[in-house]
Copies of this chain bind each other. A is one copy, B any other.
Amino acid sequence: MVTSKQVAKMAGVSRGTVDRVINNRGMVKESTRQRIQEIIRRLNYKPSRAGKVLVSHQKKLKIGCIIIKAQNPFYDDLYRGITLKVEEYSSYGIEVIVERVDFCGESQLRSIKTLLNRGINALVIQPMNDPAVAEKLAALARRGLPIVTTNTDIEDFDSLCYVGNDFFTCGKTAANLLDLITGGKCAIGVVTGFGKARSHSDRVAGFREYIAGRPEMRVLAVKENFDDDTKSFTVTRRLIAAHPEMDALFLVAGGVRGAGKALKSFPDRRIRTICFDDVPTTKELIRDGTILAAICQQPVRQGSLSLEVLFEYLIDGKTPVKKKLYTDIQIKLKSNLDL
């Protein structure tokens, strides 16, 4: 392996000077800079990650994470993805501080303040769709804090990148799957979470775009359940009762358990149902055949990947290859549910 020592020796300078050139710190005479550059190129010298990491110990780097804590166990998977990396990074001398917050903008603002007080050098956040939060993040980004949005995006500030699903494509995939299952012919009830939550509405939009090309797939109605199982039960029951011709159900967001209960209360109807995210209660409904498939977004991977991006940035100064790092859209059936 080529080291900076060798480069220095070949160039007849000290390692300090090589370091200045590599990291563009300036303070090097142009001619020696060029000479060193040329040697680096010729030897294909790449600084050792291990050396850098070790030095970074002196900076006591800290990464803050703000993850929603709510009824939905989906968030626990995201959290788990983060904790999976905590130990690894601690062995690299990087502290990861995780704050789990309620589903509200103020909690997030409070957590941001707490983390800043603890001196974080980077932030992972699953941001609420709240102007105050967006504004705060924008201000921090301007101050140079690297921020990764995870699972849900806020577009109006300059984050390092977004790690999560492409919700529009998720919706298309749901429609594609339903197309295959129903032979392209079905009357669909749609139960979404919040009509104005971007992630939910994008899924519905993607779904609609796909079926626009399928004349025999039609949407009977779109109802909101506010991600709540009790409401979901009522809404879904009413939807099924109101449309005797309904033979497919698309569950866009949370409240799957409630919808499942509603489905079971119509044992004589054959309603082919698909939903999102394989939380435990959903898995149960897939196992017992109430739901045929769940479309999943790798929440664990989202958590881990968000930290990986910041690690690269803090240690190597590398910016992610894309502004949107989309995780896979996975289709889970009874047979590939437990892996």
One complex includes copies of this chain to the number of 2
Give the distance in Å from the alpha carbon of A95 to the alpha carbon of B46 in the complex: 13
Whether B333 and A177, one on each chain, are in contact in the complex, defined by CB atoms closer than 8 angstroms, is: yes
Could you pull out 15 A-B pairs where Cβ atoms are within 8 angstroms?
Answer: A48-B91, A48-B92, A48-B93, A50-B54, A50-B92, A50-B93, A166-B339, A169-B335, A176-B334, A181-B181, A183-B183, A210-B335, A328-B328, A330-B331, A331-B333
Give the distance in Å from the alpha carbon of A93 to the alpha carbon of B46 in the complex: 10
A220 at the interface (CB under 8 A from B): no
Give the distance in Å from the alpha carbon of A154 to the alpha carbon of B336 in the complex: 23
Interface string of A295-339 (1 = CB under 8 A from B): 000000000000000000000000000000010111101111001
Interface string of A164-200 (1 = CB under 8 A from B): 0010010011011100110100000000000000000
Whether B326 and A173, one on each chain, are in contact in the complex, defined by CB atoms closer than 8 angstroms, is: no
Q: How far is the CB of A273 from chain B (nearest CB, A)?
A: 12
Give the distance in Å from the alpha carbon of A336 to the alpha carbon of B166 in the complex: 10
Give the chain B neighbours of A242 by CB distance below 8 A.
none
Q: How far is the CB of A63 from chain B (nearest CB, A)?
A: 14
A27 at the interface (CB under 8 A from B): no
Give the distance in Å from the alpha carbon of A312 to the alpha carbon of B181 in the complex: 43
Pick the residue among B47, B48, B331, B336 that contacts A336 (CB under 8 A).
B331
Pick the residue among B1, B292, B326, B331 that contacts A93 (CB under 8 A).
B1
- Contact-residue size bin, chain A (C-beta under 8 Å from the other chain): 35 or more
Give the chain B neighbours of A1 by CB distance below 8 A.
57, 60, 90, 93, 95
Supply 14 further A-B pairs (C-beta < 8 A) apart from A46-B87, A330-B331.
Answer: A1-B60, A48-B54, A48-B91, A49-B91, A49-B92, A50-B53, A50-B91, A50-B92, A51-B54, A173-B336, A210-B335, A328-B328, A330-B330, A331-B331
Given known pairs A173-B333, A331-B336, the reply for A293 and B91 (CB within 8 Å) is no
A88 at the interface (CB under 8 A from B): yes
Give the distance in Å from the alpha carbon of A74 to the alpha carbon of B28 in the complex: 49
Whether B175 and A335, one on each chain, are in contact in the complex, defined by CB atoms closer than 8 angstroms, is: yes
Question: In the complex, which residues 29-82 of chain A have their Cβ closer than 8 Å to any Cβ of chain B?
Answer: 46-51, 53-54, 56-57, 60
Whether A88 and B49, one on each chain, are in contact in the complex, defined by CB atoms closer than 8 angstroms, is: yes
Give the distance in Å from the alpha carbon of A292 to the alpha carbon of B179 in the complex: 11
Q: How far is the CB of A183 from chain B (nearest CB, A)?
A: 7
Whether A339 and B328, one on each chain, are in contact in the complex, defined by CB atoms closer than 8 angstroms, is: yes
Max chain B Cβ within 10 angstroms of own Cβ: one of A51, A87, A210: A51
Q: How far is the CB of A49 from chain B (nearest CB, A)?
A: 4
Give the chain B neighbours of A339 by CB distance below 8 A.
166, 169, 326, 328-329
